Amino acid sequence: MDYNNPVIAKKGTDHGDPAVLKFKGVYYLYHTGPRKVPVYRSFNLVDWEEAGVALWASDDRNHWAQIDLWAPEVLCSNGIFYMYVTGATRSGDGTADDENRRIGVAKSASPTGPFILADEPLTREWSIDAHPFQDDDGTFYMYYNVRNDLTRGPGGIIGTGNVVDRMKDLETLDGKPAMVVRPEHAWEGNKEGTFFWNEGPFVLKHLGRYYQMYSAGYFGDDSYGMYYATSDEPMGEQGMKDTSWKKWQGGKAILKSNEFCEGPGHHVVTKGPDGVNDYYIYHGYSPDEGVQERRVRVGLFEWQDDHIWLEPPSDNRLPFPATPSVDARFMSSLKDINRLLSEKKTDDFYFETTATFLDKCAKMGVSLSDNIRWTIYSEGHRLVAAVENPSQTQCSDLPQHVDFTFPQRISLLKKGGRYTFSINGLEVLTVETGEKYKGEKVLMEYDEGQVRAEGTILTTL
């Protein structure tokens, strides 16, 4: 199967600043709106259906988010969905007061909402484009965009830049941001040279380094494009004067406008349905439409050693994102899931499921033929790996913030004799067996009636 971009293009709607959440094998997409944040649902990143309104702006004349709900991004932690979104107050004529834009959080028990806005914003200065990032040690950081005297562009012209702050918890910032990137070049502004932008941050970690992807140029025309900067640490120690982050090749674009898409940018990166391949979801104008409405597009994201490569916009038919070798995402019976898994033998693989313990004393595991067995003990908050012989074990404490009475994504990656077990993307335990077992069967072990598994996949590598 193949498809054409854009994947969401509703006439009369501007689909700016798209962000995607993957939960239990299903994708949810959110984008900017004047008074509401819509939500879409997909199983493959290409075919999207409208799923309602996730968030409405406040009607309270004293609230921080009365209009212009920009750049929503959602994460889930222990059954609560947190949406980080920009809002503005209304001016006297009913339009947004551009001097009064703030980032805040809204919460929901469902990825489709309704999300409820917090009474107070997270930030106290002009700020937009929030992006939460969790480091390997579990610490959360908020990357976002500000506009002040320290983010001015060439010649001291007004501009915006990206900063980072530690999060005390998912609803509180430390309040001591540090600089990440700010405009330095003429091409990072509009064609008149009267305003400059570095905005739309998205952060990844690769080979021990931090990569902040960002957009620069004027978002309303073909000067807009995508860039990245790197650092050895997620947040520098010199505050707003920090220079830890270095722009790739001094600020060279990795994606620019072409005849098929103008102003590509403000994106997120997510795993495809197979849990292995990466894709970036971004917005851009379709030149053949001739309207100022951004459309949602999907492209391949690849690491080329230590460099980021993005599939450029085109009018070609593109192959659908790869699917798992075993797709049990929409099966609920653990017996049926194991029956499907047992039909597949594999050497190297990626396995993923979202587990919920219905009893605090429950346990579940993943067994690989007779070679290795992984078991999660919820009561003791421990992960135990038994290699070849149950008396030979390795153990690890689970992250303290993880509560398995709520859905948690667990994954197991096997390459050669190396097995890596992760929870919600955080590596918990790696085992080196010294043996490259082949033809393994992956099966789940569980207490009957005490564990629920959803979004289960197995992809051979």
Residue 73 falls in the annotated catalytic set: no
| Start-to-end CA span in the chain (Å) | 21
Residue 17 falls in the annotated catalytic set: yes
CA-nearest of 262, 254, 253 to 294 is 262
Distance CA 185, CA 98 (A): 24
- How far is the CA of 256 from the CAs of 9, 261, 265, in angstroms? 20, 9, 9
Helix (H) or strand (E) holding 339: helix 334-341
Q: Which of 68, 73, 188, 199 is catalytic?
A: 199
Return the DSSP state at 334: H
Residues near 171 by beta carbon (within 8 Å), at least 6 away in sequence: 82, 105, 118, 122
Are 182 and 151 spatial neighbours (Cβ–Cβ below 8 Å)? yes
Tokens of residue 349, six digits: 């693989």
Q: Which residues are catalytic?
A: 17, 199
